[in-house]
């Protein structure tokens, strides 16, 4: 009796293993097959009686998790070796702060710009009315102002920040790059312009946000604190602030949606977007494609460090 | 003998119409007492109650063909012993009445009607506005509720509002300058369905005021004919007040918050709430510490008009900036796509998938 029972158990476990291997599609991966077998035996050893579908699902889940971890571990080593840290943690936090606040501000601000559109009415309904909209817009504003404070501090006190600010100043090379790009676009030249740390596109984006931010935060604060500002400033200043806020908001929204989204999401080599905003790393290929001069500098620095 | 039966029958039939008209003397009978000038009654509280009925007034009213008891239905004998009750107009002006005036079914939904139903002694009934014995068609010049005279009728109870109205631009236009298009009480408040200002259904509820005013102030013909300033509603809608109003904020300023409801006067009148001297006080109702700065610049700002000065040019600057920037960026995008297409990049699977 004992023997027969044991056989039944083994048969069952084997069937389970075959099923799991088929289900996961890991037939030609001996390492993972081994893992599956071990996990199934581990699970079944605990309590065979309640090994039902739910239990099996749990096993699959565990295996998948392990698989993912392993794949990530393998890739990570490779990843670390072949990528370049282009944006540090402060840079990435600033970008996340900026886009979070801008998305909030655009969504909460658009209904005020187009009050008679039915889409605005729907948006307003989901925001919970004009009072809630006002609160949310101010939350976005506070985040945006915090971003500007953070950025100013970063530019002044951080070594990378100072370097980036200087690298972002427009120069003669940018005009040359634009001309070269136009030549390249029309097929007059086969060479794309070679960019340094920031291309003219990125410089345009930076200064557009810089100018836009001053206009938006300035005019926004005049309106937010209107009872205070109108004590010292005539009403037409408020009207100017309102006009500028509304117009610059539209300009910024269109620029982001058309230009920035094209550059980072919708162009064929980027679609549907990358995770650079999260890890701040570019691969060698991407570096050579987009910032060849910066890549050369990276390599030089690395060699310099190894040499010393 | 059969013939005699028929004769009696025919005589009886012929007498019916005479019976119907035989109430005419009753009309005269009532006036035997009530037709005497100075016919009145002393009330227990010392006041006198005028009981005189002006015959010519009655004969010229829309109800001249009716008999006293058609309305005063509770008077059964002469002299009547009981004091007759209030006349109920709904006896004839009931719903779906084929002849006669349409009944004001809305009346009982109105604040007047609700209070009347609660037997509030101050609440008006039909006859309090339309008149009793002198009731006329609404468009008759003798009517108490025609466009010109309805204000004084309302003013019988709403004295303060009436006093303000007759001094306002609307009141003087209608009563002194006889401009028939000028609004009176009912133009804004409605006729029978008059509701309290805090009722969301009211025509003069904070969010509905703009609809009431736009009736004339957005009417191009009237604006042209009487040379009243145009673009008031459109500029209000562009302002933050207007935007918040559009999204249902009853807290925000509407037309009457600044221009007042009854005492509306043009800006050049020193009594006006929107006169430069009074503007800081008017704005100060909502904006604490409002000062003379509120008067520096227009309130109804038309951003698209050259007359707004610097604002117009700022708007234009941003328009040009937006147009030119986006045109350049768009060209850049199109050229980029064109180049990628030429290089065969589009259509192939991309390399970077991270």
Are A195 and A293 spatial neighbours (Cβ–Cβ below 8 Å)? yes
**In the predicted model, what is the mean pLDDT of residues B38-55?**
83
| Residues contacting A27, CB < 8 A, separation 6+ | A21, A33
Chain B partners within 8 Å of A275 (Cβ) = 354
| Cα-based angle B306, A241, B237 (whole degrees, multiple of 5) | 65
Give the residue carrying structure tokens 């604190």.
Answer: A225
State the CB neighbour count (10 A cutoff) for residue B341: 12
Q: Residue B164 pLDDT more than 90?
A: yes
Of B28, B38, B79, give the one whose Cα is nearest residue B58: B28
- Are B249 and A130 within 8 A, CB to CB? yes
Are A214 and A306 spatial neighbours (Cβ–Cβ below 8 Å)? no
Q: What is the pLDDT of residues B241-253, one digit of tens each?
A: 999 999 988 889 9
Facing B321 at nearest CB: one of A112, A251, A259: A251
Peptide bond before B79: cis, by omega within 30 degrees of 0?
yes
| Cα-based angle A152, A257, A194 (whole degrees, multiple of 5) | 70
Are B352 and A285 spatial neighbours (Cβ–Cβ below 8 Å)? yes
How far is Cα B98 from Cα A285, in angstroms, rounded to an integer? Answer: 89
Chain A residue at shortest CA distance from B347: A268
Facing A247 at nearest CB: one of B237, B297, B322: B322
- Are B314 and A243 within 8 A, CB to CB? yes
Mutate to test the interface with A, among B320, B327, B329, B353 (most CBs of A within 10 A): B329
Chain A residue at shortest CA distance from B243: A115
User: Would you call A183 an interface residue with chain B, using a CB distance cutoff of 8 Å?
Assistant: no
User: Would you call A170 an interface residue with chain B, using a CB distance cutoff of 8 Å?
Assistant: no
Question: Quick one: pLDDT at residue B27?
Answer: 63
**In the predicted model, what is the mean pLDDT of residues A41-70?**
66
How far is Cα A261 from Cα B330, in angstroms, rounded to an integer? Answer: 12
Which residues, numbered 120 to 149 in chain A, qualify as contacts with chain B under a Cβ-Cβ cut-off of 8 Å? 121, 124, 129-131, 133
Closest CA–CA distance from residue B346 to any residue of chain A (Å): 6
Segment (H or E) for B325: helix B310-342
Mutate to test the interface with A, among B318, B319, B335, B350 (most CBs of A within 10 A): B318
Which residues, numbered 67 to 106 in chain A, qualify as contacts with chain B under a Cβ-Cβ cut-off of 8 Å? none
Closest CA–CA distance from residue B60 to any residue of chain A (Å): 52
- % of chain B beyond a pLDDT of 90: 42
**In the predicted model, what is the mean pLDDT of residues A189-213?**
91
Return mean pLDDT, chain B.
Answer: 85
User: Would you call A285 an interface residue with chain B, using a CB distance cutoff of 8 Å?
Assistant: yes
What token pair was written down for B234? 């459109």
Question: Quick one: pLDDT at residue B165?
Answer: 95
Q: Residue A40 pLDDT more than 60?
A: yes
Distance in Å from the first CA to the final CA of chain B: 121
**DSSP code for B348:** S
The CA dihedral of B75, B138, B24, B8, to the nearest 10 degrees, is -100
Closest CA–CA distance from residue B352 to any residue of chain A (Å): 7
Residue A2: pLDDT band (50, 70, 90) is: very low
Question: Quick one: pLDDT at residue A5?
Answer: 58
Give the residue carrying structure tokens 């704005």.
Answer: B283
State the CB neighbour count (10 A cutoff) for residue A178: 16
Question: Quick one: pLDDT at residue B266?
Answer: 92
Are A265 and A271 spatial neighbours (Cβ–Cβ below 8 Å)? yes
Are A123 and A110 spatial neighbours (Cβ–Cβ below 8 Å)? yes
What token pair was written down for B135? 């009731």
Q: Residue B240 pLDDT more than 60?
A: yes
Out of A26-30, A59-63, A151-155, A200-204, least confident range? A59-63
Chain A partners within 8 Å of B298 (Cβ) = 235-236, 239
Q: What is the pLDDT of residues B198-233, one digit of tens each?
A: 999 999 999 999 999 999 999 999 999 998 888 899
User: Would you call B313 an interface residue with chain A, using a CB distance cutoff of 8 Å?
Assistant: no
Question: Quick one: pLDDT at residue A47?
Answer: 57
Peptide bond before A272: cis, by omega within 30 degrees of 0?
yes
Number of H helices, E strands in chain B: 17, 2
Facing A124 at nearest CB: one of B247, B311, B342: B247
- Count CA atoms closer than 13 A to B235's CA, side-chain side: 16
Residue A1: pLDDT band (50, 70, 90) is: very low
Are B200 and B298 spatial neighbours (Cβ–Cβ below 8 Å)? no
Are B241 and B249 spatial neighbours (Cβ–Cβ below 8 Å)? no
Q: Residue B333 pLDDT more than 90?
A: yes
- Are A271 and B350 within 8 A, CB to CB? yes
How far is Cα A261 from Cα B30, in angstroms, rounded to an integer? Answer: 90
Of B260, B221, B29, give the one whose Cα is nearest residue B269: B260
Are B68 and B30 spatial neighbours (Cβ–Cβ below 8 Å)? yes
Are B333 and B341 spatial neighbours (Cβ–Cβ below 8 Å)? no
Q: Residue B181 pLDDT more than 80?
A: yes
- CB pairs < 8 Å spanning A and B: 128
Closest CA–CA distance from residue A181 to any residue of chain B (Å): 9
Return mean pLDDT, chain A.
Answer: 85
Chain A residue at shortest CA distance from B340: A268
Give the residue carrying structure tokens 């004919």.
Answer: B225
Q: What is the pLDDT of residues B269-282, one digit of tens each?
A: 999 999 989 998 99
Q: Residue B148 pLDDT more than 50?
A: yes
Chain A partners within 8 Å of B303 (Cβ) = 243
Q: What is the 3-state secondary structure (H, E, C) of chain A?
A: CHHHHHHHHHHHHHHHHHHHHHHHCCCCCHHHHHHHHHHHHHHHHHCCCCCCHHHHHHHHHHHHHHHHHHHHHHHHHHHHHHEEECCCHHHHHHHHHHHHHHHHHHHHHHHHHCCCCHHHHHHHHHHCHHHHHHHHHHHHHHHHHHHHHHHHHHHHHCHHHHHHHHHHCCCHHHHHHHHHHHHHHCCCCCCCCCCCCCCHHHHHHHHHHHHHHHHHHHHHHHHHCHHHHHHHCCHHHHHHHHHHHHHHHHHHHHHHHHHHHHHHHHCCCCCCCCCHHHHCEEEHHHHHHHCHHHHHHHHHHHHHHHHC
Are B270 and B277 spatial neighbours (Cβ–Cβ below 8 Å)? yes
Which residues, numbered 225 to 254 in chain A, qualify as contacts with chain B under a Cβ-Cβ cut-off of 8 Å? 226-227, 230-240, 242-244, 247-248, 250-251, 254
Facing B289 at nearest CB: one of A129, A187, A227: A227
Are A272 and A264 spatial neighbours (Cβ–Cβ below 8 Å)? no
Question: Quick one: pLDDT at residue B30?
Answer: 84
Question: Quick one: pLDDT at residue A44?
Answer: 64
Chain B partners within 8 Å of A258 (Cβ) = 326, 329-330, 333
- Are A258 and B330 within 8 A, CB to CB? yes
- Are A130 and B247 within 8 A, CB to CB? yes
- Residue B33 or residue A258, greater confidence: A258
User: Would you call B297 an interface residue with chain A, using a CB distance cutoff of 8 Å?
Assistant: yes
Of A265, A292, A288, give the one whose Cα is nearest residue A276: A265
Closest CA–CA distance from residue B222 to any residue of chain A (Å): 25
- % of chain A beyond a pLDDT of 90: 50
User: Would you call B243 an interface residue with chain A, using a CB distance cutoff of 8 Å?
Assistant: yes
Are B105 and B95 spatial neighbours (Cβ–Cβ below 8 Å)? yes
- Are A267 and B325 within 8 A, CB to CB? no
Are B151 and B175 spatial neighbours (Cβ–Cβ below 8 Å)? yes
Q: What is the pLDDT of residues A126-139, one digit of tens each?
A: 999 999 999 999 99
Chain B residue at shortest CA distance from A289: B352
User: Would you call B123 an interface residue with chain A, using a CB distance cutoff of 8 Å?
Assistant: no
Residue B23: pLDDT band (50, 70, 90) is: very low
CA distances from A233 to A220, A242, B119 (A): 15, 14, 56
CA A189 to chain centroid: 33
């Amino acid at each position: 009796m004992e023997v027969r029972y044991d056989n039944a158990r083994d048969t069952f476990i084997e069937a389970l293993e075959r099923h799991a291997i088929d289900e996961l599609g890991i037939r030609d991966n001996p390492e993972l097959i081994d893992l599956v077998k071990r996990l199934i035996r581990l699970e079944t050893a605990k309590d065979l009686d309640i090994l039902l579908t739910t239990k099996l699902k749990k096993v699959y889940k565990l295996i998948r998790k392990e698989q993912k971890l392993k794949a990530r571990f393998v890739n990570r080593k490779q990843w670390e070796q072949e990528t370049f840290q282009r944006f540090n943690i402060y840079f990435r936090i600033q970008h996340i702060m900026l886009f979070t606040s801008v998305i909030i501000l655009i969504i909460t601000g658009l209904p005020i710009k187009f009050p008679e559109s039915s889409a605005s009415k729907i948006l307003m309904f989901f925001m919970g009315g004009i009072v809630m909209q006002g609160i949310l817009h101010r939350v976005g504003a506070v985040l945006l102002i915090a971003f500007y404070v953070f950025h100013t501090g970063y530019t002044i006190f951080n070594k990378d920040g100072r370097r980036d600010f200087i690298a972002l100043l427009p120069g003669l090379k940018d005009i040359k790059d634009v001309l070269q790009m136009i030549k390249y676009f029309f097929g007059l030249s086969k060479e794309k312009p070679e960019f340094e740390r920031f291309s003219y596109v990125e410089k345009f984006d930076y200064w557009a946000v810089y100018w836009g931010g001053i206009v938006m935060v300035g005019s926004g604060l005049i309106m937010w604190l209107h009872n205070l500002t109108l004590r010292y400033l005539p009403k037409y200043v408020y009207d100017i602030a309102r006009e500028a806020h509304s117009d610059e908001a539209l300009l910024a929204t269109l620029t982001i949606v058309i230009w920035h989204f094209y550059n980072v999401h919708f162009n064929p080599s980027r679609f549907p977007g990358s995770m650079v905003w999260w890890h701040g790393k570019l691969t060698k290929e991407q570096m050579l494609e987009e910032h060849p001069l910066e890549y050369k500098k990276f390599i030089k620095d690395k060699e310099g460090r190894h040499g010393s | 003998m059969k013939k005699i039966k028929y004769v009696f029958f025919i005589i009886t039939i012929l007498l019916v119409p005479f019976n119907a008209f035989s109430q005419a003397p009753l009309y005269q009978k009532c006036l035997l007492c009530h037709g005497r000038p100075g016919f009145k009654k002393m009330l227990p509280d010392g006041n006198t109650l005028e009981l005189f009925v002006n015959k010519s007034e009655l004969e010229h009213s829309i109800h001249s063909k009716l008999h006293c008891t058609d309305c005063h239905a509770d008077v059964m004998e002469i002299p009547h012993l009981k004091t007759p009750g209030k006349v109920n107009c709904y006896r004839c002006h009931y719903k779906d009445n084929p002849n006669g005036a349409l009944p004001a079914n809305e009346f009982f939904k109105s604040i007047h009607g609700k209070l009347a139903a609660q037997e509030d002694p101050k609440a008006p009934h039909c006859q309090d506005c339309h008149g009793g014995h002198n009731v006329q068609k609404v468009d008759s010049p003798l009517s108490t509720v025609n466009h010109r005279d309805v204000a004084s009728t309302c003013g019988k109870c709403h004295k303060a509002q009436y006093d303000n109205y007759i001094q306002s631009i609307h009141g003087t236009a209608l009563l002194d300058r006889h401009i028939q298009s000028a609004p009176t009480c009912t133009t804004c408040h409605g006729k029978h369905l008059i509701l309290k200002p805090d009722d969301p259904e009211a025509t003069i509820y904070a969010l509905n005021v703009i609809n009431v005013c736009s009736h004339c102030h957005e009417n191009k013909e009237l604006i042209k004919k009487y040379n009243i300033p145009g673009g008031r509603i459109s500029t209000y809608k562009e302002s933050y007040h207007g935007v918040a109003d559009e999204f249902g904020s009853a807290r925000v300023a509407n037309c009457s918050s600044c221009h007042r409801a009854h005492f509306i006067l043009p800006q050049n009148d020193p009594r006006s709430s929107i006169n430069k001297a009074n503007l800081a006080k008017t704005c100060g109702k909502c904006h604490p510490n409002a000062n003379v700065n509120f008067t520096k610049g227009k309130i109804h700002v038309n951003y698209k008009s050259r007359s707004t000065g610097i604002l117009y040019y700022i708007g234009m600057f941003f328009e040009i900036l937006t147009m030119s920037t986006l045109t350049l960026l768009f060209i850049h995008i199109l050229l980029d796509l064109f180049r990628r297409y030429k290089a065969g990049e589009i259509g192939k699977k991309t390399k970077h998938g991270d």
